[in-house]
Structure 1
Amino acid sequence: MTEFARTADLDIGYEVSGPEDGAPLVAVHGWPDDPHCWSGLLPAWHDAGYRVYRPYLRGFGPTRFRSDRKMRSGQIGALGHDLACFLEALDLDQVLLVGHDWGARAGYVVGALFPQRVARLVAMSAGYATNRADAQLSWPLTHAYWYEWFVATERGRRAMHEDRRSFARYLWRSWSPGWEFQEAEFAQAADAWENDDWPHITAHAYLHRWGEAQGDPTYDDIERRLLEPAPVQVPTLVLHGARDGDNLPETSADKSALFTAEYERIVLPDVGHFPPRETPDQVADLIFSHPDGG
């Protein structure tokens, strides 16, 4: 049964499982996905003694804004702040924080700016400090990010509202070209995108990333510190699929100077954008074989 954590801005829906007295593990999904992306890792996490919390990001599934007046922002500062507030609302400490895609970006924010409750971070399929509007992009990466500019057009916005499932299905296939996902698996994730805020948050996330939309002033200080960029202060493991067709592996390369604690990056051969879904056993093994991994 879905439970809820109340913050100043959101009622955050989340799934929880594992031993009630287990060490906390918070696993945060990406876009376009949902908390079921972690299903293949749950047996290993439970066997290792973790109490696993899987929140829905803003705009996904049952998570709801508490005010109609609150800006439907998808900026990274907002996602990171939401995650920090989630940990605080549930009073979780010494957390093993695991994030994929948007969840990884939120995890970096917490590891850099709100590290007090985090023991260790595992980030997948996204590099840190890649959200500058003036960032230099290779042409292959520019090609990979076509969809982020597509949402700046009327046609793209219409696709977000009216054709989100076929749009996202194309992204899943192109981002992980060697992975044959099951239609039931995709449909389960897609149900979480029926949230009325999903298209607005999606569009704003990418418009803000490239300097085409203003952010929510609530997060101005967070965004300013991320632009420095503030270093990640917790031990971090980065996992990146070699065949990731979205955030190409180059986006997480050569980042060690931005981490002040133990840092390791592993590129996964023959894996695309969705390691938790494509190769959950390998991901679990790497998390636990990493120093302090359980």
Structure 2
Amino acid sequence: MLCPALRGFGPTRFRSAETPRSSQLAALGRDLLEFLDALDIHRPALIGHDWGARAVANACGLRDRAGSHLVMLSVGYGTNDPQQTLTYVQARNYWYHWFMATPRGQHAVEQDRRGFTRMMWDTWAPANWYTEQDYDQAATAFDNPDWASVVLHSYRHRWGFAPGDPAYAADEASLNPAPVLSVPTLVLHGAADTCNHPDSSTGKERFFSGPYERVVLERVGHFPQREAPENMAGAILRFCEQAS
């Protein structure tokens, strides 16, 4: 199993100081395709959570048969469009998106990244789902020097508040509107997710021409890979064995 870091997280580095610190969602999909090509990996099962879920889905949208199976955790497909319909509940859940579009939010991301992200961990899932050691270990990924710029751009671009990198203009056009995917797809969503409400992943069957399944995990919040790893792994293995 390979688990690449997203741009701006952990050990990743931009090769040039002149490269825009973009993290538009199309770029995440393109990064994954370039990662697979560099390692000469053909049609692996693609599994991702949140930003990672958008990356694996967009990779499949940019290249047919990029993966043998697609698994999206805590995110519904077809949610890249800045004009998408949002319920008021989901708009409330996305408070941090709007916050980061302001100077005060930018300051929080740049100057208090651990306090800001800790707020997410404490409010996106039922209480006491992680230990201090868990958080400290994960938070080292936020120490990347490009993390703040990448995060701010990703959310600002997502809602049309910042321009994208022209290098990804063709990919953006390919992904909006969201293309129909033929890859067998599984969506796993926590019933107690207060970041992306589970309703946000319902009614997506029209986007899939191949096998498609959605499973809601009871008493699980936004982080099924940490909150219910055995249930999550079991569902993924079952789906990959059955769907073709």
What TM-score results when the alignment is normalised by the length of structure 2?
0.96
- Tell me, which stretches of 5 or more residues in structure 1 are unaligned? 1-51
1:57 aligned residue: 6
Question: Is structure 2 residue 166 aligned with structure 1 residue 217?
Answer: yes
2:38 to 89, 98, 107: 89
Instruction: For 1:266, give the aligned amino acid.
Output: V
Residues 120 and 179 of structure 1: CA distance in aligned 2, closer, same or farther (over 3 Å): farther
2:55 paired residue among 88, 92, 106 = 106
Identify the match of residue 250 of structure 1 among 194, 199, 204.
199
What does residue 199 of structure 1 align with?
148
1:225 CA displacement: 1.7
CA drift at 1:292: 2.5
Per the TM alignment, residue 205 of structure 1 is displaced from its structure 2 partner at its CA by: 0.7
Per residue, is there more strand in 1 or in 2?
1
User: Compared with structure 1, are the counterparts of its residues 179 and 114 closer, same or farther at alpha carbon in structure 2 (3 Å cutoff)?
Assistant: farther
Q: Cα RMSD over matched residues? A: 1.3
What SS does the aligned partner of 2:72 have? Answer: strand
1:281 to 226, 230, 235: 230
Q: Which residue of 2 aligns with 1:161?
A: 110
Structure 1 residue 291: Cα displacement: 4.8
1:192-214 alpha-carbon deviations (Å, 9 max, x no partner): 10111111111111111111110
The more displaced of 112-121 and 92-101 is: 112-121
Q: What residue identity is the alignment partner of 1:72?
A: R
SS at match of 2:56: helix
Query: Of the candidates 169, 172, 176, which is equivalent to residue 227 of structure 1?
Result: 176
Secondary structure of 1:289's partner?
Answer: helix
**Equivalent residues of 1:179, 1:278 under 8 A apart:** no
Q: Structure 1 segments of 4 or more deviating over 3 A?
A: none
| Consecutive unaligned residues in structure 2, runs of 5 or more | none
Q: Aligned residues: percent identity?
A: 46
After TM superposition, give the deviation of residue 177 of structure 1 in Å: 2.1
1:190-243, Cα deviation, whole Å (9 max, x unpaired):
001011111111111111111111001111111112112211221110000011
Structure 1 position 118, deviation (Å): 0.9
Q: What is the correspondence of 1:170-185 to structure 2 with a 5 Å cutoff? A: 170-185=119-134
- Please state how far the C-alpha of 1:94 moved relative to its aligned partner: 2.7
Bigger mean CA deviation after superposition, 125-134 or 97-106: 125-134
Structure 2 residue aligned with 1:139: 88
Change (3 A) 1:234 1:185: same
TM-score (norm. length: structure 1): 0.80
Indicate if the aligned counterparts of 1:83 and 1:110 stay in contact, CA closer than 8 A: yes
* Comparing 175-184 and 185-194, the one that deviates more: 175-184
Secondary structure of 1:53 counterpart: coil
Alignment partner of 1:290 is 2:239: yes
Deviations 1:65-99, CA, capped at 9 Å, x for gaps: 11111111111000000011001111111301110
Does 1:77 find its partner at 2:77?
Answer: no
**More RCO (CA 8 Å, sep 6+):** 2
Aligned length: 243
Matches of 1:106 and 1:217, distance apart in 2: 18
